[in-house]
């Protein structure tokens, strides 16, 4: 099966031949969830954690897909190309219904789609720019849903200002980025908001927390007030495909001394070592 472009409902086929019905609820309503699983040196990264998050998202939208880890591996593994940095995009919708109705259909078969893409190289060592924006998304951000229009509009505002990301503020506290989790070094302590319905539980975030704890780095999982975020000596953005991005300017103001910080440099080294160790 090596060399097939995508997987769709039990078949491997070229991307140009992959089609779904216009009555698929993912197309009509965004009624589905997704997962992004990076792979390094031909090995899937933190697969069990990604599949657990996928199952949590499926449970959150009351969609049952009874596949175990080995069955998911059987679907995903043929899409990988040995030795390249890549990621699997996996999307599951509630499937095709006979009519367009907001209520769940009585009978429908989930649509399962997966494809593999290369992870674009990113010059993390130079740092990135970010802006802050009001978090105007829904109240179930812990579900990795395909309904991402709010996130798209927020990220585009950042792009329009030549920034890599928008850090979202709600009720005076930072929640996360439009497509990332947030860390800040505040008075020498690495801080990240705790998991809740207001943020997506990031897999890269969890790896960083574990690495910080195992390497005796000061860390707290607690809310980050906007005023503290603006005084932080370092700010990071984390995600599966961009890994750990150091922010050097926030709303056109320097973060710390405007350079990539020493805590990020230490964590970057630990993270890269961890990637190789588990691959």
Cβ-based neighbour number of residue 74 at 10 Å: 12
Residue with the two structure tokens 């943020």? 199
Contact 186, 236 (CB under 8 A): no
Angle between helices 203-214 and 262-278 (to 10 degrees): 100
Residues recognised as catalytic: 144
* Angstrom distances, CA of residue 74 to CA of 10, 113, 178: 11, 13, 32
How far is the C-alpha of 50 from the C-alpha of 63, rounded, in Å? 17
* Angstrom distances, CA of residue 19 to CA of 192, 254, 273: 40, 47, 40
Degrees, nearest 5: CA angle 147-94-30: 15
Contact 13, 115 (CB under 8 A): no
Handedness of CA 41, 77, 141, 178 (dihedral sign): positive
């Amino acid at each position: 099966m090596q060399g097939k472009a995508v997987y769709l409902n039990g078949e491997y086929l070229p991307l140009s031949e992959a089609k779904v019905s216009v009555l698929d609820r993912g197309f009509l309503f965004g009624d589905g969830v997704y997962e992004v699983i990076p792979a390094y040196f031909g090995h899937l990264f933190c697969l069990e954690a990604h599949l657990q998050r996928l199952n949590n998202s499926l449970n959150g939208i009351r969609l049952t897909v009874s596949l175990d880890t080995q069955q998911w591996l059987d679907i995903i593994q043929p899409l990988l190309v040995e030795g390249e940095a890549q990621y699997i995009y996996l999307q599951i919708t509630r499937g095709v219904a006979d009519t367009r109705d907001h209520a769940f259909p009585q009978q429908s078969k989930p649509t399962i789609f997966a494809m593999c893409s290369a992870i674009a190289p990113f010059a993390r060592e130079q740092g990135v720019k970010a802006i802050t924006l009001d978090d105007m998304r829904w109240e179930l951000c812990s579900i990795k849903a395909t309904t991402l229009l709010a996130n798209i509009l927020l990220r585009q505002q950042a792009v329009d200002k030549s920034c890599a990301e928008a850090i979202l503020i709600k009720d005076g506290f930072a929640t996360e980025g439009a497509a990332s989790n947030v860390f800040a070094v505040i008075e020498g302590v690495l801080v990240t908001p705790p998991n809740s319905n207001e943020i997506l539980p990031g897999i890269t975030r969890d790896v960083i927390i574990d690495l910080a704890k195992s390497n005796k780095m000061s860390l707290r999982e607690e809310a980050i007030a906007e005023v503290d975020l603006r005084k932080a000596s370092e700010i990071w953005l984390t995600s599966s495909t961009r890994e750990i991005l150091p922010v050097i300017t926030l709303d056109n103001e320097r973060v710390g001394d405007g350079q990539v910080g020493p805590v990020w440099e230490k964590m970057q080294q630990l993270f890269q070592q961890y990637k190789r160790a588990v691959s």
